[in-house]
Amino acid sequence: MPSSSDADPSAGSLPGPSGAPESGSTTTTPASPVRRGRVRLRRAAVMAVPATAVAAGLMILTAQGALGVQFAISGMPFTVTATNLDGEGFAQFGALDQMAEGSPNEGDTGGQVLVVVSAIKKATLEKLCQSVDLGGTNLLITAGAGSQKVSATNLTTDSTELSGNAAFDNIEIGNDASTLDKSHTRGPKGVFSQQADTVHIGNLRQTNYATTAAVFKLPGLKLRFSDQGC
């Protein structure tokens, strides 16, 4: 029989009667519960995105990786104002918009912008103004200042700020964004959202990174450069 010095050192020590290693053993029990706990905490930290304010003063929790629009944003915010906005089929939830890879506007954001997605199936706006700061001058667009209002179908805006005097009909708060059914779009599963049959916002002001619409009619459209924005 081989002596103890000839035994395979990788075999480890045999357990004693109580199941613990014999005296002198260097074998230790792996701290797997602690390791798994740390993994869960790291995953939770990745999925938890800071809350952002919505028009009604609510907080929206967003899930990382959700895109509010299906194109790369420029990363340049633009301002939108309107005297009145009236909409049918309203929904709102949080998302992340993504800039083009290597965009000079990404700064320390990694090219991602946390936004509030506002979706309206049918919308009308009075005295619409949109401006973007180009550095020393503003590209200014106005429309709907006359008797005809600006109208949009399947309007979606991705905003970082939104203010005004808001009123909702039959509002639902706290929906899972994947179950929204009053507007034309839904958000990712597990994301906090709200929806309503109708929405009215007076003195609307938004800071947006993207806007999409199936149909967008702008009567009395004027586009020009200006020293002042909206």
C-alpha distances in Å from residue 51, one per residue of 19, 21, 57, 58, 224: 50, 51, 11, 9, 36
Q: Is the separation of the CB atoms in 148 and 219 below 8 Å? A: yes
pLDDT in tens, 129-169: 999 999 999 999 999 999 999 999 999 999 999 999 999 99
Asked whether the whole model's pTM tops 0.75, one would answer: no
Report pLDDT for 153.
97
Average pLDDT over residues 197-226: 97
- Could you give the CA distance from residue 193 to residue 93 in angstroms, rounded to a whole number? 4
Q: Is the separation of the CB atoms in 61 and 47 below 8 Å? A: no
Q: Is the separation of the CB atoms in 125 and 141 below 8 Å? A: no
End-to-end CA distance of the chain: 93
- Could you give the CA distance from residue 212 to residue 230 in angstroms, rounded to a whole number? 20
Average pLDDT over residues 10-18: 43
Average pLDDT over residues 11-19: 43
Where in 127-191 does DSSP place strands (E)? 128-133, 138-143, 150-169, 172-176
Q: Hunting for tokens 């869960």 — which residue is that?
A: 40
Higher pLDDT, 21 or 138: 138
Residue 145: name the closest of 123, 124, 130, 128 by CA.
128
DSSP class of 74: -
Kindly report the CA angle at 198 between 165 and 184, in degrees rounded to 5?
120
pLDDT grade, residue 45 (50/70/90)?
very low
pLDDT grade, residue 69 (50/70/90)?
low
Average pLDDT over residues 96-105: 94
117's enclosing H/E stretch is strand 112-126
- Could you give the CA distance from residue 145 to residue 45 in angstroms, rounded to a whole number? 47
Q: Is the separation of the CB atoms in 152 and 215 below 8 Å? A: yes
